A and B are shown apart, each in its own frame.
Chain A
Amino acid sequence: MRLPDVLFDWLHTATSQMRWKRAQPVAEKELRAHIEDQYEAFMDEGMDQAAAAKATAREMGDPVETGTRLDRVWRPRPDWLMLGMVLVIAAAGLILQYRFRWSNDVEWYMLLGKYVSGVACLLIAYFADYTLLGRHIVPLLGVWFAGWLALHWPLRNGMPNGISGIMGWMWLFPVVFAGLIYRLRGKGTEGLGICLTAVFGMALCGYGTFRTGAEAAMMAVCGIQLVVAVRSGLFGKRRKWWYLLAALPLAQQLYFCIHIGWFVSRWPDDPIWSDYTDKLVRAALYGADGGAFTSTLVYDRATDYLLVSAKVEWGWTAFILILGVLAALLLRGWWMLRSQSGVLVRLVSAAVLLTLFAQMITYTTQNLGIAIAANHGLPLLSYGGTYLCQTMFLLGVLLSAQRTGGLEPGTAPVKEADINA
């Protein structure tokens, strides 16, 4: 409907009072709908267009006053507590890495440089528009795959940091996957099938690259995302057999755990096999001897086995305290997610939290001497460089979604009966 000039001017005057530019189109859309309804009501009463337009403008009130009031309530909502927690925990992680560093060549300013890089990645994601994940998912998937290809080459050619670079990139997939689920909402079995294809495609990328538990953990994360999406009716009225499809990635993770458990239990007691490392870890944790762990795994104390190092140095309290701090961060993130009503913001936030939770679990099991290779760090704490940048980027996405998620309309409340087929 084309509005008369007087009403168009009213709308423009009102919304131009709002300083947050991203909120202007949201407020304008709602006000415009109201103006159209009021204008049509006056026309239905018998007024001509000019009279109806003037009456509508009068009924709407003063546009400057309206816009000023809207400006006061439409503001970004940064979560300063979460931001502070992230920065403090990351700083604590670098202090721990310096404490357990394997060489005196690892200087404090090198670690500070990594921290600054991580903060830069966080800020880039924080000020970016998370809704890009919903609006441009196809090119973003292409970028993700192109990135994997580009990073795959250094890894295959034995270049330094090859594994950490590609691992960090792979762990961005669940967030991109959230955008894919959002894009395919309402598409039924076809949508679910495309999502599953993407997940198994990612698993092939991972399996072809490093064959560890990492891609299985990622599949578990994606599986949970799919099951929750089916449960919420995102793909449409749910069918019971959709749960079986959505749970396939989870089944793969379970198979992997059983397979590794059976396979590794038969490895010989040989330093070459990782089970030997797990035996060292268990001796350090549950036995009296942390010396063998400290002298043998000197390169990995600050990175792959930070929790064990903390236990050997300070006892179980330190082990639990470190995990407790991370758990508090994830709980805060969960609280942020619950306060949002938009579909995309909830999907993206859940993807970030599930990713960090999965990393925390697999890292902890590795540090408890259970034979599941993590090949990634403990979020924010155990690695600097590429891995810290990846984690900070993800947290930046979470904070960005929280800051601007109010712009996204929520979903209509549904009853269970309405979404069951």
Chain B
Amino acid sequence: MNIDKSLLAGNTALLVLRLLREDDLYGYQMIERLREKSDDTFSLKAGTLYPLLHTLETQGLVQSYEQAADGGRIRKYYHLTDAGRARLAEKTEEWRAFSGAVDRVLGGGESHAFA
């Protein structure tokens, strides 16, 4: 199913922070893991991801470092900071409130819409 990109746009940061909560990752790994966890629903482009990562880093939510990956190549990993964890918790709560409200409207909407 094709998802409207605008639905993803406002929540990409939330998804990236959530991925990093589990493990430090580099950019390619994040895109692959997001695709895998979303059953190919979310296919993030590098042109979206890397500017976002740099923005998150300037905000102090993630921290980058270089390290050898599998195969010995140097990759730039990203690590979730304490501030990032706090922001993730806040945004997760916000998403749950938002999505719960949307579900309630969609779930109870048809029987009342033409009353």
- The CA-CA distance from A77 to B47 in the complex, in Å, is 22
Say which residue of B64, B73, B76 sits within 8 Å of A36 (CB atoms): B73
Across-interface contacts of B48 in A (CB, < 8 A): 61, 69
Within 8 A of B (CB), among A317-365: 339, 341
Quick check: is A72 within 8 A (CB to CB) of the other chain?
Answer: yes
Contacts A73-B58, A77-B58; A409 near B73 (Cβ below 8 A): no
CB distance from A302 to the nearest CB of B (A): 42
Q: Are B63 and A27 in contact (CB under 8 A)?
A: no
- The CA-CA distance from A29 to B74 in the complex, in Å, is 10
Within 8 A of B (CB), among A40-93: 59-63, 65-66, 69-70, 72-74, 77
- The CA-CA distance from A14 to B46 in the complex, in Å, is 11
Q: Are B65 and A33 in contact (CB under 8 A)?
A: no
Interface residues on A, range: 20 to 34
CB distance from A81 to the nearest CB of B (A): 16
Say which residue of B45, B46, B54, B65 sits within 8 Å of A410 (CB atoms): B65
Within 8 A of A (CB), among B28-77: 28, 45-48, 50-51, 54-55, 57-58, 60, 63-67, 73-77
CB distance from A97 to the nearest CB of B (A): 39
CB distance from B44 to the nearest CB of A (A): 10
Q: Are A339 and B65 in contact (CB under 8 A)?
A: no
Q: Are B47 and A33 in contact (CB under 8 A)?
A: no
Q: Are B50 and A27 in contact (CB under 8 A)?
A: yes
Across-interface contacts of A37 in B (CB, < 8 A): 28
CB distance from A237 to the nearest CB of B (A): 17
Contacts A34-B46, A61-B48, A73-B55; A412 near B76 (Cβ below 8 A): no
Across-interface contacts of A341 in B (CB, < 8 A): 57, 63-65
Query: How many A-B contacts if CB must be within 8 Å?
Result: 77
Across-interface contacts of A60 in B (CB, < 8 A): 45-47
- The CA-CA distance from A33 to B47 in the complex, in Å, is 14
Q: Which single residue of chain A is at the shortest CB-CB distance from B49? A: A34
Quick check: is A413 within 8 A (CB to CB) of the other chain?
Answer: yes
Quick check: is A38 within 8 A (CB to CB) of the other chain?
Answer: yes
Quick check: is A31 within 8 A (CB to CB) of the other chain?
Answer: yes
Across-interface contacts of B57 in A (CB, < 8 A): 341, 406
CB distance from A404 to the nearest CB of B (A): 13
Quick check: is A30 within 8 A (CB to CB) of the other chain?
Answer: yes
Is the contact region of chain A dominated by helix, strand, or loop, or is it mixed? helix
Q: Are B63 and A413 in contact (CB under 8 A)?
A: yes
Across-interface contacts of A34 in B (CB, < 8 A): 27-28, 46, 50
- The CA-CA distance from A176 to B45 in the complex, in Å, is 42
Quick check: is A411 within 8 A (CB to CB) of the other chain?
Answer: yes
Across-interface contacts of A70 in B (CB, < 8 A): 50-51, 54
Q: Among the interface residues B51, B66, B74, which one has the most CB atoms of the partner chain A within 10 A?
A: B51
- The CA-CA distance from A34 to B27 in the complex, in Å, is 7
Across-interface contacts of A339 in B (CB, < 8 A): 60
Contacts A406-B57, A410-B64; A66 near B27 (Cβ below 8 A): no
Q: Among the interface residues B47, B63, B79, which one has the most CB atoms of the partner chain A within 10 A?
A: B47
Say which residue of A30, A38, A65, A409 sits within 8 Å of B47 (CB atoms): A65
Q: Are B60 and A69 in contact (CB under 8 A)?
A: no
Q: Are A409 and B45 in contact (CB under 8 A)?
A: no
Across-interface contacts of B46 in A (CB, < 8 A): 31, 34, 59-61, 66
- The CA-CA distance from A61 to B47 in the complex, in Å, is 6
Contacts A70-B50, A406-B58; A33 near B75 (Cβ below 8 A): yes
CB distance from A39 to the nearest CB of B (A): 11
Contacts A69-B47, A341-B63, A410-B64; A30 near B55 (Cβ below 8 A): no
- Residues of A participating in the B interface, judged by any CB pair closer than 8 Å: 14, 27, 29-31, 33-34, 36-38, 59-63, 65-66, 69-70, 72-74, 77, 339, 341, 406, 409-413
Q: List 14 A-B contacts (CB under 8 A).
A: A14-B47, A33-B26, A33-B28, A33-B74, A38-B28, A60-B47, A63-B47, A66-B47, A66-B51, A69-B51, A73-B58, A341-B64, A410-B65, A411-B65
- Residues of B participating in the A interface, judged by any CB pair closer than 8 Å: 24, 26-28, 45-48, 50-51, 54-55, 57-58, 60, 63-67, 73-77, 79
Which are the 9 A-B pairs with shortest beta-carbon distances? A66-B47, A61-B45, A69-B51, A61-B47, A37-B28, A412-B65, A409-B66, A73-B54, A410-B65
